A and B are shown apart, each in its own frame.
Chain A
């Protein structure tokens, strides 16, 4: 057991997987010699050699396209897109190819790849380094979509993703790389070393894909969140002194509907929080499912808190990023209804 940051946990997941299985290969821009711009692949090339961890040309469709071919061969590629903002050139390969190869070939070919990418804002990355594109992937049948919120989950989920027989999008909230975060920009990130979930086993373990986790139990309202927003939601519940139950989805596709339904059936109220823009965001899916499955238990309309429907601004990012204030107001709103 060791104290790890989320970057270290992600690296450890790849390390453990590469050590266990010669078919796991890791590549992407700056991933090899340098170890990645966030250093999540640091040391892997030195340890496993240049043919198992290497740098690629700056061609996202090339990265994902070659990964698909390697997977068809029988390898298990775990590739990095340097920032989620740059996955669009690979979108065709992901949505039309990776996601469909099993289906269209009736299992003749499969595509066990993992595509990792740093997502989200809060680090002054402006509109080109802050995007949260998860809803673009959850709309694609055949992909799996994971967003971890802490080092322990990140490692267990990433190993599960690498071992998964299908293509998995692994979205890493970069705001959480070094520690949890309560949404107040004047307060620094708390290092993971001071947090229970920064305690990470050194060896192999997995967390099942498709299972949510209740991070805080409560009976007044259910807050559904994932990634960075789990921490913001926890801070908001604390600040507002509301008996909120906070669910960390961890996996958006497949989604753990049972945990959501069970909680909302109990609380009768639901707030969905995400950092991505509001319109057609993943919160809409959660709200619709809650409405379909918990209608007769609801005491208030489901409320969504999200990024604004604008590109991510540089100077005003703290007004863009949902913080405990905005979540707190939403909690108050559903409690009043």
Chain B
């Protein structure tokens, strides 16, 4: 006889729910500068601890410390700060535009600006991102015109995607930004394929895959890791762990132990965890991974530990599932304020210049919005033609679609 107890199912729950005291005591945070920086040709098994720790550069006093510091000049940091501020201002305007009924939907980046903005600066022209929906910083940091982004959000007559895509699902081959799918995780394995193609053609360009913590549960995430490790594809596999997948805390996709980064280790993929609110750390780690890829050393998996301060989207109400003050308790701070402080400490920036920059950026965003709205918003002004419904399904319009277009009167 086997002595068996009655089984019970374990369903993970976050430490705190609405009404409770926010508690991040479970988030183990390494001191800034404490995590070593290995050579890029290191084997994944020799840096296992990097998948469990958190690489940080900026300390509490705003200084850049440790072996991952120094990948950017002051000028580059000032550009980074400006890009993050732009993204934040852009988000604020577009969130308001959605509230005003000018578009149907919006998703903001509040608290996560450093991840995509710093990452983009580790890539070069020709590299390709396969983003999910919270990486508009990739476009902003590459100077993609804000007006075009707004035209897309408004689905107006100048929308580069002719009104076919949900707001924020941008596409720009020129700016290394693959067309966004609403179906989570599909892009992850596509990025690996793009990277494999680059290797097949003995090219020098690399790819970057993007996914959220919740979406790592999708099978495409695992397919991507298999293919990336099998073929040593020149790809950077990014996981943005912002603690929440709509109302579901990260422990549901991850379980109670391990980290998302650690998932790479079973595939022999070097895996690093980084402070996603530390512009310098994100950039340094991304540059390390990009160098690995470019030297044909294969994929790197990076988990960005961050916090989604805003709602998941304009259709979400976070107060229904987490304490209202949780974001304030987030121990890794605000990426914009942290970089600002660092630059002030270095003497490269000041409170006054920051206030002035904020005003300039606000003007820039308002001006872009004015230009975009001259082309219409979702419910007012110029719209893409109904004819656009039928175009572009195939390279050449087949007869059955032509018949339908004629029937529709176009």
Contacts and interface: CB of A to CB of B under 8 A. Distances in A.
A310 interface: no
A102 B181 contact: no
A43 interface: no
A316 interface: no
A329 to B, nearest CB: 32
A241 B191 CA distance: 57
B28 interface: no
A96 B186 contact: yes
Contacts of B193: 65-73, 77
A52 B194 contact: no
Contact of A70 (B194, B220, B398): B194
Contacts, number: 149
Contacts of A57: 223, 226-227, 230
Interface stretch (B195-203, B274-282, B303-311): B195-203
B190 interface: yes
B286 to A, nearest CB: 20
Contacts of A75: 197, 200-201
Interface stretch (A12-20, A103-111, A212-220, A265-273): A103-111
Given A102-B392, A103-B164, A69 B196 contact: yes
A142 B394 contact: yes
A255 interface: yes
A108 B152 CA distance: 14
Contacts of A73: 128, 193-194, 197-198, 201
Contact of A108 (B179, B181, B189, B192): B179
A51 B202 CA distance: 10
A104 B399 contact: no
Nearest to A25: B200
Contacts of A52: 200
B171 A105 contact: yes
Contacts of B195: 69
B393 A102 contact: yes
A332 interface: no
B189 A105 contact: no
B296 to A, nearest CB: 13
Contact of A105 (B161, B188, B191, B399): B161
B165 interface: yes
Contacts of A101: 179
Interface in B153-180: 160-162, 164-165, 169, 171-173, 178-179
A106 B178 contact: no
Contact of A65 (B198, B207, B224): B224
Interface in A76-115: 77, 89, 92-93, 96-97, 100-110
A84 B155 CA distance: 38
A257 B198 CA distance: 41
Contact of B223 (A59, A109, A258): A59
Of A89, A102, A105, most B-chain CB atoms within 10 Å: A105
Nearest to B395: A165
Interface in A27-64: 51-52, 56-57, 59, 61-62
B130 interface: yes
A210 interface: yes
B194 A109 contact: no
A255 B400 CA distance: 8
The 10 closest A-B pairs by CB, nearest first: A69-B193, A66-B193, A65-B189, A62-B223, A105-B179, A73-B197, A254-B398, A69-B194, A69-B190, A70-B197
23 contacts: A25-B200, A59-B223, A59-B226, A61-B189, A61-B220, A66-B189, A66-B192, A69-B130, A69-B189, A72-B128, A72-B193, A73-B128, A93-B186, A96-B183, A97-B181, A102-B392, A102-B393, A104-B169, A106-B164, A107-B392, A110-B395, A142-B393, A166-B394
Given A70-B200, A72-B128, 14 more contacts: A57-B230, A59-B226, A62-B220, A62-B227, A65-B223, A69-B189, A69-B195, A75-B197, A75-B200, A93-B186, A96-B181, A96-B186, A106-B161, A210-B399
Interface of B: 128, 130, 160-162, 164-165, 169, 171-173, 178-179, 181, 183, 186, 188-201, 207, 219-220, 223-224, 226-227, 230, 392-395, 398-401
